[in-house]
Amino acid sequence: MEILKKPILTEKASILTEKLNRYAFKVDPRANKLQIKSAVEDMFGVSVISVNTLVVSGKAKTRYTKAGYVSGRGPKYKKAIITIKDGETIDFYSTI
């Protein structure tokens, strides 16, 4: 099971990183906080202080087709917000 799927690089997540030294990741929905903490520490070599998780519900979507209006939902996902020790950083662009 791949625990960390991808980092979330939005404006809101960037503000969290700059002000509070927190990083956001999309994670496997079955992963718990201890698994997420160990995965981040192993992958990036940083000290994790805390892990907060939340499940983001899928966005409702509607579109007009020949058959009329078709409505559905986008997929839901689990998000983890990781707080790391002061003075440490995670560079997402060094592994490209």
Share of the chain above pLDDT 70, in %: 98
**Can you give the pLDDT at residue 93?**
78
**Can you give the pLDDT at residue 91?**
85
What's the rounded mean pLDDT across residues 15-19? 94
* Block residue for tokens 């799927």: 5
Q: How confident is the model at residue 96 (pLDDT cuts 50, 70, 90)?
A: low
Q: How far apart are CA 91 and CA 59, in angstroms?
A: 30
- pLDDT digit string, tens, across residues 55-90: 999 999 999 999 999 999 999 999 999 999 999 998
Share of the chain above pLDDT 90, in %: 90
Please count the CA atoms within 13 angstroms of the CA of 6 that sit on its side-chain side.
5
C-alpha distances (whole Å) from 79 to each of 39, 41, 69, 83 are 14, 17, 31, 13
